[in-house]
Amino acid sequence: MFDLLITNGTLVTAEMTVQADLGVINGKVAAVLTPGTPCETQERLDAAGCYVLPGAIDAHVHLHMRTANGYTADDWRTGTTAAALGGVTAVVDFVETTPGESLQDALGRRLEETREAVIDFGLHMTIQPDEDPHPQTGFMRRVSDARLAQISAASEAGCVTFKLYMAYPGLQVRDGDLLRAMCAIREVNGLACIHAENGELIEVLRQAAGRAGESLHDTILHARTRPTMNEYEACTRAVTCAALSGSRILIFHIGCAAAAQVVAGARQRGLPNVFGETCPQYLALTEDALKGSTGCRWICAPPLRPQADQDAMWRLLTSHVLDIISTDHCPFTLAQKDEGSDDFRLVPGGVPGIETRLGLMHELGVRRGRLSLNDWVRLCCTRPAELTGLVSKGRIAPGYDADLVVFDPALHKSLEASELHSAIDWSAYEGMTCTGWPRDVVSRGELIVRQQRFVGHTGRGHFVRRAIELQ
């Protein structure tokens, strides 16, 4: 007797596409069955004409994150509800420390903020510089030994992935600290997630942009002051530290061919522990979005790039150089974005996307012949779970969480803001339409989206203690 039986669907996994029925007991996948196998069940879901996928995993989101321009617009309820409606059954967000706070204390404080999550989630730990500048030299702050010593307790608490910034004053770590942190992360079999841009060079270019008589209103300057060479250079440094430490690293939000080639080169030189992430904004948009009067909306870092880079990203997805697609969902309202309309340097950086990834990648990838159905599931569901240590998710097999999406390839969905559920008043993909969208979503055996309506309850999401099982 099953709790839930999903019948008549086409099962799509990272490896295969097959007609199968699925039985669920106690929140877990219990059986993958030949279609039409007679079974008793409490509830039955007919997936005829639809794909049945593992729930999508978004390994990079920023809900209720404090910034200089206020908090990101989605809280844990609105953000995870929008995610669920887009076929996402788990997200990984971040923990940031305040001065003097330990990683464990920051985790406890962050967990308080997640109480209204409607889907499961993990948390990356951000390792920030925490020591005062050197008293004699005034040299940049560094990461203390005490901070690095907290990595093992964070790992035991289920946070095995650690964010390190190579850009942004106040957040960026020095090269030596990058290496020290990676050595500590390696000790716990963790994953270092890297924001790879050369922060010092960016600050010089941004200051120069103001002096050269250019209009700071012109948002294309955002891309010009964060050139691809600068991203390439930082990726190379990150890979050097990965080689020296032996740590597993994931370079976040790769949007240009130059940076991706660093990952490809690392693999060729026998560094299998270097991984790459890209995001839908780099696959669907180009820097042209920064050129119009509404350019400030599309300010994110690294910036959107020219068409040739976008084309390269698509090729690198199928050649396995880029391992996962995450959103870097970082939503700001138009009012927040407009606070910087006179100076591109004051615009809060980030674009939304938590709800649109699976449908958009089906539209632009699968339907346009750039990804197979199995690539799509590998990049959006299975590989993100493996790399971030969500070991009970990302696959459809007995014993795995019954986190499932019934994706109807015939549904039409407009990506206007009015059709989406993030707590913002604009969409990064206005004017675009998808054929194919998640119809029903199951989280740990419970239907939380039925016929594109959210039917789950606030606060049902669990914090997941993660452990990476890659060799």
Identity of the residue, 62 or 77, whose beta carbon is nearer to Zn ion in the bound complex: 62
Identity of the residue, 65 or 346, whose beta carbon is nearer to Zn ion in the bound complex: 65
Which one-letter DSSP state was computed for residue 379? I
- CB of 353 vs Zn ion, minimal distance in Å: 11
Compute the distance between CA of residue 347 and CA of residue 390 in angstroms, rounded to an integer. 34
Identity of the residue, 197 or 328, whose beta carbon is nearer to Zn ion in the bound complex: 328
Number of residues that bind Zn ion (CB under 5 A): 1
By the 10 Å C-beta count (0-12 exposed, 13-18 middle, 19+ buried), 331 is classed as: buried
Stretch that binds Zn ion, among 32-40, 257-265, 326-334, 437-445 (CB under 5 A): 326-334
Identity of the residue, 259 or 442, whose beta carbon is nearer to Zn ion in the bound complex: 259
Identity of the residue, 231 or 328, whose beta carbon is nearer to Zn ion in the bound complex: 328
Q: Map residue 410 onto helix, strand or coil.
A: strand
Identity of the residue, 196 or 442, whose beta carbon is nearer to Zn ion in the bound complex: 196
Stretch that binds Zn ion, among 78-86, 133-141, 321-329, 409-417 (CB under 5 A): 321-329
- CB of 124 vs Zn ion, minimal distance in Å: 9
- CB of 270 vs Zn ion, minimal distance in Å: 29
- CB of 329 vs Zn ion, minimal distance in Å: 8
Helix, strand, coil shares, percent, the chain, to 5? 35, 25, 45
273 is written with which tokens?
Answer: 């522990």
Identity of the residue, 162 or 407, whose beta carbon is nearer to Zn ion in the bound complex: 162
Taking CB under 5 A as the criterion, the residue among 231, 328, 386, 403 binding Zn ion is 328
Within 8 A by CB and 6+ apart from 244, the residues are 179, 182
Q: Which residue is nearest to Zn ion (CB)?
A: 328
Stretch that binds Zn ion, among 96-104, 282-290, 299-307, 325-333 (CB under 5 A): 325-333
Stretch that binds Zn ion, among 212-220, 327-335, 378-386, 435-443 (CB under 5 A): 327-335
Please report, as residue ranges, which positions from 350 to 379 form the binding site for Zn ion (by CB under 5 A).
Answer: none
DSSP for 288-326?
Answer: GGGTSTTGGGG--SSPP--HHHHHHHHHHHHTTSS-EE-
Compute the distance between CA of residue 443 and CA of residue 406 in angstroms, rounded to an integer. 12
By the 10 Å C-beta count (0-12 exposed, 13-18 middle, 19+ buried), 375 is classed as: middle
- Residue 53 Cα distances to 92, 117, 458, angstroms: 19, 22, 24
Stretch that binds Zn ion, among 222-230, 282-290, 320-328, 386-394 (CB under 5 A): 320-328
Please report, as residue ranges, which positions from 427 to 466 form the binding site for Zn ion (by CB under 5 A).
Answer: none
Q: Cβ(232)–Cβ(226) under 8 Å?
A: no
Compute the distance between CA of residue 382 and CA of residue 432 in angstroms, rounded to an integer. 26
Identity of the residue, 116 or 328, whose beta carbon is nearer to Zn ion in the bound complex: 328
- CB of 197 vs Zn ion, minimal distance in Å: 12
Compute the distance between CA of residue 69 and CA of residue 440 in angstroms, rounded to an integer. 36
Element containing residue 229 per DSSP (H, E): helix 228-245
- CB of 193 vs Zn ion, minimal distance in Å: 9
Interface residues toward Zn ion, by CB under 5 A = 328
